[in-house]
């Protein structure tokens, strides 16, 4: 949508420029018309730069999520104790929010028919899926990942995260980290 807006603005500027050339010089002083055009050109340059950044971020399939451990939290549910390992994707801003929009046209996540386009899986180093998230709304949600391990159970030697962009068929696999260092 922003690309279309930029092109419309560019066409408008070109049309205005042609119109200015056809106007009589009595309407506005030439310096005022030039200043107006220069301001419009600066605004278009800014919008073009933003478009280039947007295009770069939405077409990059080679971004690797940088997984990091933020800390742990001890908690209890119905009398059972757990350790929650709090995780973050440090470079979450490299992933466009568009990846996390609701995707009712894709298979649902359980009963959630508006689950996000990209699902996030937390996986042990030996390939076992430990936990997942399927209803994120933006890339910022990647800073609040977690996985829980029951007290008395061994934590996996290492974990990694996979961002599965179901629409594009692209999976972004993070680095593997050790979570045992905090135990």
Write down which residue in 59, 88, 106 finishes a domain. 59
Higher pLDDT, 50 or 127: 127
> 86 and 134: one domain?
yes
Residue 11 has pLDDT above 70, yes or no: no
Reading the block at residue 118, the tokens are 């990209």
Average pLDDT value for the chain: 85
Q: Which domain holds residue 108?
A: 67-182
Residues 139 and 76 reside in one and the same domain: yes
CA distance 140 to 89: 9
What's the pLDDT band for 96 if we cut at 50, 70, 90?
Answer: very high
Q: Please tell me whether residues 31 and 47 are part of one structural domain.
A: yes
- Torsion over CA: 137, 143, 149, 154 (sign): positive
Domain-ending residue, one of 37, 59, 81: 59
DSSP state of 62: -
Last residue of a domain, one of 59, 76, 104: 59
Which pLDDT band, with edges at 50, 70 and 90, does 1 fall under?
Answer: very low
Cα–Cα distance measured from residue 22 to residue 85, given in angstroms and rounded to the nearest whole number? 68
- Asked if pLDDT for residue 82 goes beyond 90, the answer is yes
Round to whole Å and give the CA distance between 135 and 149.
22
Q: Give the domain CATH number at 141.
A: 2.60.40
Check whether residue 160 and residue 117 sit in a common domain. Answer: yes
- How far are the Cα atoms of 4, 38, 41, 82 from residue 29, in angstroms, in the given order? 32, 14, 19, 75
Task: Count up the domains in the chain and report the number.
Answer: 2
pTM: 0.66
Per-residue pLDDT, 41: 87
Task: Look at residue 52 in the predicted model and tell me its pLDDT.
Answer: 64
The residue ranges of DSSP E strands in the chain, in sequence order, are 67-77, 80-89, 118-124, 129-133, 145-150, 159-165, 170-173
Give the separation between CA 126 and CA 98, rounded to whole angstroms: 31
Pair 24, 54 in one domain? yes
Residues 35 and 17 in one domain: yes
Q: How far apart are CA 173 and CA 66, in angstroms?
A: 9
Residues 39 and 77 grouped into a single domain: no
Kindly indicate the confidence band of residue 26, based on its pLDDT and cuts at 50, 70 and 90. Answer: low
Residues 27 and 73 in one domain: no
């Amino acid at each position: 949508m922003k690309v279309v807006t930029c092109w419309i603005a560019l066409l408008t500027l070109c049309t205005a420029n042609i119109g200015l050339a056809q106007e009589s010089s009595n309407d506005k002083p030439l310096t005022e018309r030039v200043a107006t055009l220069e301001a419009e050109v600066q605004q278009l340059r800014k919008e073009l730069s933003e478009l280039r950044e947007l295009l770069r971020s939405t077409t990059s399939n080679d971004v690797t999520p940088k997984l990091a451990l933020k800390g742990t939290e001890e908690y209890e549910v119905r009398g059972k104790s757990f350790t929650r390992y709090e995780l973050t994707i440090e470079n979450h801003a490299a992933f466009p929010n568009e990846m996390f929009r609701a995707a009712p046209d894709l298979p649902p996540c359980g009963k959630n028919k508006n689950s996000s386009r990209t699902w996030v899986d937390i996986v042990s180093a030996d390939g076992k899926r430990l936990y997942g998230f399927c209803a994120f709304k933006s890339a910022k949600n990647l800073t609040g990942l977690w996985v829980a391990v029951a007290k008395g159970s061994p934590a996996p030697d290492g974990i990694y995260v996979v961002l599965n962009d179901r629409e594009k068929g692209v999976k972004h696999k993070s680095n593997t980290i050790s979570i045992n260092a905090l135990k």
